[in-house]
Structure 1
Amino acid sequence: MQLLTGEARAALLAEANALRPELHRYCARLMGSVIEGEDVVQDAFVRAAVALQDLREAPLLRPWLYRIAHNRALDLLRSREIRAAEPIEAALDVADRASADPAEMLMRQEAVKAAMSRFLELSIPQRSAVILKDVLDEPISEIAALLDLSVDAVKGHLARGRARLQQIGTKDDPVPNAGSASPAVTHYVALFNRRDWDGLRALLAEDVKLVQVTHPPRTGRAHVGAFFTIYARSGEVWLMPAWLEGREVIAVFENRADPKPSYIMWLEWRDGRISFIHDYRYARYVVAEAAMVLLQP
């Protein structure tokens, strides 16, 4: 049997792109961060593209992609020394019916509304089970296959995870960690909102890099400088400094009158110059559930 053709691989990756928002919902809660969740999604797609080159038949795309993202997230979590040390005990009886009872529905609603950081208080198996069942509405049998666990083990992790979320649900929601707008970001935002594209290009380091989802990276001052030409044609775009998950970011409004930003970008600096631009224009789902604090520059 021959390897998958280039056309078949491209078609699978195009189909996989439609799964990005739901995959991000899972990874963001697993990591406790919308930005780190997107990093995992990005890594998963890179690994999927490489793996497809060695496959002779198309995989079942959704569970295959989830498994890649799940394993990548576990690698990162273990690197933080967050361990899943919980023993697999006798499972509690967890409902898994198409028409769940009111208590079941209430637990699912609480999981959907829980802050990202709350999930970090669960063990990794509990976290995965609760997110997949209560946030993404996956059948328990499919969760068991994804996590390589028995159905009874998944039910046990789900019951304990739900109980833990209810226990900590009485706490006040954490206040987002926000500082003031830095002079560098304030200057960038002011130049952008004045449409001073030459001023923005002057801030770029010679080896600056730009990353956007689904687009090849741009590297170098000349190449990245052309990035602003795209925004020069978008007269309504307006920026504001913001803080997200303890990180200074830039909120992007496609219309100044919009109540919420459409997406974010964030910058890395070196010696007063921009060394990296992370632009989430094509990953707008990242801010859908983000607790962001907007700042006046």
Structure 2
Amino acid sequence: MAFGGGHRRLPRRSPLRRLHEEHHRAGRRREHDGSHDLFPYGRDRRLGGCVTGSQDQSVAATETRLRAFERDAAGLRAKLHRYASRMVGSVIDGEDIVQEALAKGFVAIRNGDMPDKTEPWLFRIAHNAALDFLRKRARSRGRESEVELDMIADENSALDARMAAEASLAELMQLPPAQRCTVVLKDVLGHSLEEIGEILETSDTAVKGALQRGRDSLRKLAAAPRIAPPRPALDPQDMRRLGDYVAAFNARDFDTLRGLLAEDVKLELVNRLRADGKEYVGNYFGRYADETHWHFTTGLVEGRPAILVTSPDRPERPPRYFILIDWENGRIAGIRDFLFADYVMDGLDCSSQP
């Protein structure tokens, strides 16, 4: 089965992925048994095993802090993603920002930092990472983003909270970043004004002003006529290639798919593990071969070709998760599977394609 040629770039790499690749280049490849580990590649080797009485007490203390941080971060990951995706207008980029925030938090704790409260500390890291992402994107598009907080009065309204929670990512992206972050933190995630001020490191007055102005903007957007976004221009070869992949997967023709893997193919099973190299990534298909509760269809996620995964007995229902495939010279160069990251489906812009 021919999938055609072409070249696509891999998704934006997170620090965890870079740590992973450095780890592999050093010849220290690790195999994963599927157990959940937020930071499988960032650990100092001295911290990788059980602490014994002969080890330095500072190493043992660091290991304890890291384990506590991993537990806290696992419980916060969905909330962090909900915030990050609404700040940057993309569930895919939002996941990259969450990974960056978790990696920075991990490194900080390994270097001796230990926040009194993990949640506001991690949200602050994610907030700054999101602003950095927006600045870079604005520069690449040749325009600046507004980042100052406005100072006007605040009203606490259940109607505003419901409006913000129901707003699409595209609608939230029409707010300036300062308004957007306060609206999401207050009306979507339920943080108090004091907590928001702690996350943003600003005054209650500034938070109230940005929040009220953001709510006013959302009211105007809700009252305005809705205009359907233009359909993205799709490369017919991309869609044909993806359709062939989906057909082979649904037919369980995994040998054909393994034959299409590039030698240096990269797999990211988001929120679970990473692997690279044809030999290791080939095992990925075996896991799907053991299951029957999936059906693949071609579709679009945020305007880019994607695989939508539904239940075979209820194909008309919304997709459970999605998969992104990247190609290089007719070979599969990257697989990004969101099976273990269903939190990204909150607010996802997706559609099926014939």
Same fold (TM over 0.5): yes
Cα distance, 1:88 vs. partner?
A: 4.7
Aligned residue-pair number? 288
Cα distance, 1:247 vs. partner?
A: 1.0
Note the alpha carbon deviations across 1:75-109, whole angstroms, 9 max, x for none: 111112264536555421333xxxxxxxx111111
- The aligned runs of 1:150-161 (5 Å cut-off) are 150-161=203-214
- The secondary structure found in structure 2 opposite 1:182 is helix
The structure-2 alpha-carbon separation of the partners of 1:15 and 1:262, relative to structure 1 and needing over 3 Å to count, comes to: same
Matching of residue 127 in structure 1 with residue 127 in structure 2 = no
TM-align CA RMSD: 2.0
Q: Distance in 1 between matches of 2:150 and 2:294?
A: 54
Amino acid at match of 1:282: F
Which of 28, 40, 55 does residue 112 from structure 2 map onto?
55
- The aligned runs of 1:265-276 (5 Å cut-off) are 265-276=323-334
Give percent identity, aligned residues only.
36
Amino acid at match of 1:222: E
The structure-2 alpha-carbon separation of the partners of 1:174 and 1:135, relative to structure 1 and needing over 3 Å to count, comes to: farther
Q: Distance in 2 between matches of 1:282 and 1:185?
A: 22
Q: Any conservation in 2 of the 1:177–1:244 contact (CA below 8 Å)?
A: no
Note the alpha carbon deviations across 1:160-216, whole angstroms, 9 max, x for none: 111111112223164474557711100100000000110110111111000122333
Q: TM-score, normalised by structure 1?
A: 0.90
Which of 59, 67, 77 does residue 20 from structure 1 map onto?
77
The structure-2 alpha-carbon separation of the partners of 1:27 and 1:107, relative to structure 1 and needing over 3 Å to count, comes to: same
- The secondary structure found in structure 2 opposite 1:275 is strand
- The secondary structure found in structure 2 opposite 1:240 is strand
Matching of residue 141 in structure 1 with residue 206 in structure 2 = no
Matching of residue 105 in structure 1 with residue 158 in structure 2 = yes
Q: Any conservation in 2 of the 1:84–1:125 contact (CA below 8 Å)?
A: no
Q: Which one scores higher on RCO, CA 8 angstroms, separation ≥ 6?
A: 2
Q: TM-score, normalised by structure 2?
A: 0.76
Which of 267, 271, 287 does residue 345 from structure 2 map onto?
287
Q: Any conservation in 2 of the 1:20–1:41 contact (CA below 8 Å)?
A: yes
Matching of residue 172 in structure 1 with residue 220 in structure 2 = no
Cα distance, 1:10 vs. partner?
A: 2.1
Q: Distance in 2 between matches of 1:77 and 1:88?
A: 16
Q: Any unmatched runs of 5+ in structure 2?
A: 1-56
Counterpart residue number, 1:115: 168
Q: Distance in 1 between matches of 2:132 and 2:231?
A: 26
Counterpart residue number, 1:44: 101
Note the alpha carbon deviations across 1:54-76, whole angstroms, 9 max, x for none: 12545411111111111111111
Q: Distance in 1 between matches of 2:269 and 2:293?
A: 20
Amino acid at match of 2:303: G
Q: Distance in 2 between matches of 1:15 and 1:174?
A: 40
- The secondary structure found in structure 2 opposite 1:79 is helix
